Amino acid sequence: MGVRVRIPATTANLGPGFDTFGMALSLYNTLEVDWGNRGLQISATGNGTHLLPTDETNTVYLAIKEVFAKTGKEVLLQERGLTISIHNQVPVTRGLGSSATAIVGGLWAANELLGYPLSETELVEMAVKMEGHPDNVTSAVYGGIVVSGLLDHSVYVRRFSPPSGMKCVVAVPDFQLATRTSRNALPSAVPYADAIHNLNRASMMVAALADGDLHMFCSLMEDKLHELYRMPLVPGSKEAIARARQAGALSAVLSGSGPSLIAFCESDEESIGEAMQEGFRNMGVEAEIYRLTPVEQGVASLSCIS
């Protein structure tokens, strides 16, 4: 019997929480994994799947292999083979955690297929190692809003429920921006005052989460560590953010490393989305709008497939 798992999209950083804050969103990738007739068969449908390899370099398969290797079951991959079916709703390389969905989905599906030999903690540590940073993968695992980091080589995670009434409008420009490219735009050092600014804002955002204070949480999303350097890679982003705020957004920031933008609000999602589109369009960029909500649940096993 095969397995089927669903993994939410995620947005990371949330402004000043660089490589630390993440949030799960109501947009999902679904993954089905079953034993095959030897060899590997991968099929993909949905958003951006023409960009996904369907051979042994596929990220889902690489994550599955990690579980088989850690549990000493690699021989089963040669003896039985695998059939992997991927259905994507999450845009690829757009700053919405598509790689995290592949890593988390592959790890969780493989663990279920083998009868749950690994603990959740072990899987999370494997996911962070594969991704290179914890924000997207931990929010994909736990749902809600996650504050995470590495402490003595172990992954530390603190999960919060999203503040009541939070809604999200995501503008996805019609071009890709690889995380590596976006990271290469960052300087090797930043002014001391900018580091203090982000430390102050991120700390108060955690307090706002503890209080469930949506307005305070959103008012603190002013970053000085990464957005300044990444915005030039996303034409139209500054104007789109300004227009979103004028249309009623409580805040608007880069989603992860971009190029997508995410605006936070309580209402007016349609007008905020239109405003963001217009901001991008003024720079000759078309953008697709997603009206989403934060979700409490992370990766989930949907059912067994007979």
Residues 263 and 169: beta-carbon distance below 8 Å? yes
3-state DSSP call for residue 183? Answer: helix
pLDDT tens digits, one per residue of 11-27 = 999 999 999 999 999 99
pLDDT of res. 304? 53
The CA distance from 273 to 281, in Å, is 12
- What are the CA-CA distances from residue 40 to residues 67, 72, 249 (Å)? 16, 19, 46
Residue 198 confidence (pLDDT) above 50: yes
pLDDT tens track for 272-299: 999 999 999 999 999 999 999 999 999 9
49 or 228: which carries more pLDDT confidence? 228
**pTM score, two decimals?**
0.94
- In the chain, the percentage of residues whose pLDDT exceeds 70 is 98
Burial class (CB in 10 A: 0-12, 13-18, 19+), 26: middle
Q: Helices 59-70 and 98-113: crossing angle, nearest 10°?
A: 40
Residue 53 CA, chain-centre distance (Å), reads 20
Residue ranges and CATH numbers for the domains of the chain are 2-161 (3.30.230.10), 167-292 (3.30.70.890)
DSSP string, 206-261: HHHHHHT-HHHHHHT---SSSHHHHGGGSTTHHHHHHHHHHTT-SEEEE-TTSS-E
Nearest to 58 by CA among 74, 44, 68: 44
Summarize the confidence of residues 155-170 as an average pLDDT.
97
pLDDT band at 104 (very low <50, low <70, confident <90, very high): very high
Whether the pLDDT of residue 68 is over 90: the answer is yes
